[in-house]
Structure 1
Amino acid sequence: MGVCLAWAAWAPAHSASGVDVDSTTPYLGIGINQLSYFDGAQAMADVVRESQFRGTDWSETPSVDAHGNPTQDFILIFSSNRFAAGTYTLVFQGWANVGVSGAAENGGAGPYITNKRYNKITNTTTADVVVPNTLTGNCWFNFNQTRRTSASTRSDGLSNLHFWRPGYPADGSVLFTQEFVKAMKKFHVIRGMDFVSANSNASVNWSDRTDMNFQGYVGSKGQPWELLVQLANATDRDLWINVPVQANDAYIRNLAGLIRYGSDGVTPYSRTQTNPVYAPLKAGLRVYVEYGNELWNSGPGFYGFGWSLNLATKYMADTTHPIAYDGALTDTYLAHRRWIAYRSASIGLIFRQVFGDAAMMGTVRPVLASQVGNANVYLSEGLKWAEGFYGQVRTSPANSVARQVNQLWWGAGGAAYYDSTTAPTDTSAATMRAYFAGLPSAEFASNTAIDATWSRGYGLKSVAYEGGPGPGGSSSGSATGSVELAATYNADSRMWARMKAAHQIYTANGGELLNYYVYSGSPPWDFVNDLNPGVVSDTSTVKLRTIDTIRMAPKAAPTLGTAVPGTVWFPNGGSVGVQFDGAANWRYNGQAIRLPVTTGTGGKAFSGMALIPIRAEQAGTYRFSLAMYPEADTQVELMINGELAGTFNIPGTCGGICADNAYATSPVIKAALPAGLSVVRVRPVNNDIWIRRLIVR
Structure 2
Amino acid sequence: MWFIKIRNLLLANIITLSIPSILFLGISGCVAKTETAAREISSSTPVTKNTVKVTEKKTSNTTNKTQNKVKTSELAIEQKFPMGINLSSDVSWSRSKMWINIAKSARDWGYVDKPYQPNPDLKLSAQGYPLSDAGLFFEGYEYQPGVWQFSYQGSGEISFTAGGSLIEVNRRADGTVRGTFDRSAKMRADGSLIPVHLMLKNIDPNNPPSNLKIVAAGYDLDSDAIYTQEFLNFIKPFKILRYMDLMETNESTIKTWGDRLKPNAPGKGVAFEDLIALSNITNKEAWITLPHLADDEYIRQTARLFAQQYNPNLNLYLENSNELWNRSFSQSRDFHASTIDKLMREEGLSPAAATAKVEKEGITQKAVVDRLCHISNIFRQEFGTKADKIKPVLAGQAANSWHIKKGLEHLAATGQQENCNLDGIAIAPYLNTQYGPEFNPTSVDEVFEEMEAYYQARVKPWITEHAQLAKQYNLKLYAYEGGQHLNGENALDIKIAAQNDPRMGTLLKDYFCFWQDSGGEDFVFFSSINDHSKYGHWGLKTSINEGETVKHRAVMDMLKPGSCL
Same fold? TM cut 0.5: yes
Report what 2:396 is aligned to. 370
TM-aligned CA distance change 1:146 to 1:42, over 3 Å: same
Q: Distance in 2 between matches of 1:372 and 1:379?
A: 9
Larger Rg: 1
2:252 to 201, 205, 215: 201
What residue number does 1:544 align with?
A: 552
2:368 is the counterpart of 1:340: yes
Q: What does 1:49-448 correspond to in 2, within 5 Å?
A: 49-52=104-107, 53-58=109-114, 60-62=117-119, 63-66=122-125, 67-79=127-139, 83-93=143-153, 94-96=155-157, 98-102=159-163, 113-114=166-167, 116-131=168-183, 133=185, 136-143=191-198, 146-148=201-203, 158-171=209-222, 173-213=224-264, 215-218=265-268, 222-261=269-308, 280-299=309-328, 302-316=329-343, 331-333=357-359, 334-356=362-384, 359-360=387-388, 363-375=389-401, 377-390=402-415, 403=417, 408-420=421-433, 425=440, 428-432=443-447, 434=449, 438=453, 440-448=455-463
Read off the aligned partner of 2:117 and give its amino acid letter: E
State whether residues 370 and 412 of structure 1, in contact with CA within 8 Å, keep that contact through their aligned partners in structure 2. Answer: yes
Q: Distance in 1 between matches of 2:77 and 2:203?
A: 56
- CA separation of 1:482/1:217 partners in 2, compared to 1, >3 Å: closer, same or farther? farther
Shift in Å, 1:289: 0.4
Distance in structure 2 (CA, Å) of the matches to 1:170 and 1:307: 43
1:31 positional shift: 0.8
State the percentage of identical aligned residues.
22
Contact map agreement 1:287 1:365 (CA 8 A) in 2: yes
Q: Which has the higher contact order (CA 8 A, sep 6+)?
A: 2
Matched-pair contact (CA < 8 Å) for 1:25–1:554 = yes
Partner Cα distance (1:553, 1:484) in 2 = 35
Deviations along 1:184-237, one digit per CA (max 9) or x if unpaired, are 112110001111111222222222222214x2223xxx4211111111112211
2: CA distance, partners of 1:480 / 1:544: 24
Relative to its length, the structure with more helix (as a share) is: 2
Maintained 8 Å contact 2:83/2:559:
yes
8 Å CA contact 2:185, 2:193 repeated in 1? no
1:516 to 525, 528, 533: 525
Bigger CA drift: 73-82 or 182-191?
Answer: 73-82
Given the two structures, how large is their TM-score scaled by the length of structure 1? 0.61
Summarize deviations over 1:7-59 as a string: whole Å, max 9, x none: xxxxxxxxxxxxx9997331111111221112322111111111124324426
CA shift in 2, pair 1:206/1:355, >3 Å: same
Deviation, 1:81, is 5.2
- For 2:101, which of 25, 28, 46 is the aligned residue? 46
* Secondary structure at 2:467 match in 1: helix
Distance (Å, rounded) in 1 between the aligned partners of 2:510 and 2:320? 31
1:334-370: CA deviation from partner (whole Å, max 9, x where unpaired): 110110111112211222212236532xx21110111
Partner of 1:398: none
Aligned to 2:477: 462
Q: Which of the numbers 71, 85, 92 marks the counterpart of 1:30?
A: 85
Shift of 1:435: 5.1
Aligned-partner SS, 1:510: coil
SS of the equivalent of 1:121 reads: coil
Report how far residue 117 of structure 1 moved. 2.8
Report what 2:497 is aligned to.
488
What CA distance in whole angstroms lies between the structure 2 residues aligned with 1:455 and 1:541? 34
- Please give the residue correspondences for 1:550-629 in structure 2 after superposition, counting only pairs within 5 Å: 550-554=558-562, 556=564
Structure 2 distance, partners of 1:164, 1:437, is: 46
State the match for 1:527 in structure 2. Answer: 539
Q: Which runs of 5+ in 1 are unaligned?
A: 1-19, 103-110, 262-279, 321-327, 392-402, 473-478, 558-697
The residue that corresponds to 1:631 in the other structure is none
> CA contact under 8 A between 1:206 and 1:250: conserved in structure 2?
yes
8 Å CA contact 1:179, 1:538 repeated in 2: no
Higher-strand-fraction structure: 1
**Is 1:487–1:529's contact at 8 Å kept on the other side of the alignment?**
no
- In structure 2, C-alpha distance between the alignment counterparts of 1:206 and 1:451, rounded to whole Å: 36
Q: C-alpha distance in 2, partners of 1:380/1:487?
A: 37
Identify unmatched segments of 5+ residues in structure 2: 1-74, 348-353
Equivalent residue letter for 2:145: A
Cα distance in 2 for partners of 1:21, 1:515 equals 18
Q: Judge conservation of contact 1:199–1:293 (CA < 8 Å) in 2.
A: yes
| Partner Cα distance (1:419, 1:29) in 2 | 20
**Inter-partner Cα distance in structure 1 for 2:337 and 2:484:** 33
TM (norm. structure 2) is 0.74
SS in 2 for 1:462: strand
Q: Is the 8 A contact 2:143 2:216 kept in 1?
A: no
Equivalent residues of 2:242, 2:286 under 8 A apart: yes
Q: 1:49 to 1:190 in 2, by over 3 A?
A: same
User: Equivalents in 2 of 1:23, 1:56: separation in Å?
Assistant: 58
What is the Cα deviation at residue 260 of structure 1? Answer: 1.0
Distance 1:282 1:191 in 2: 16
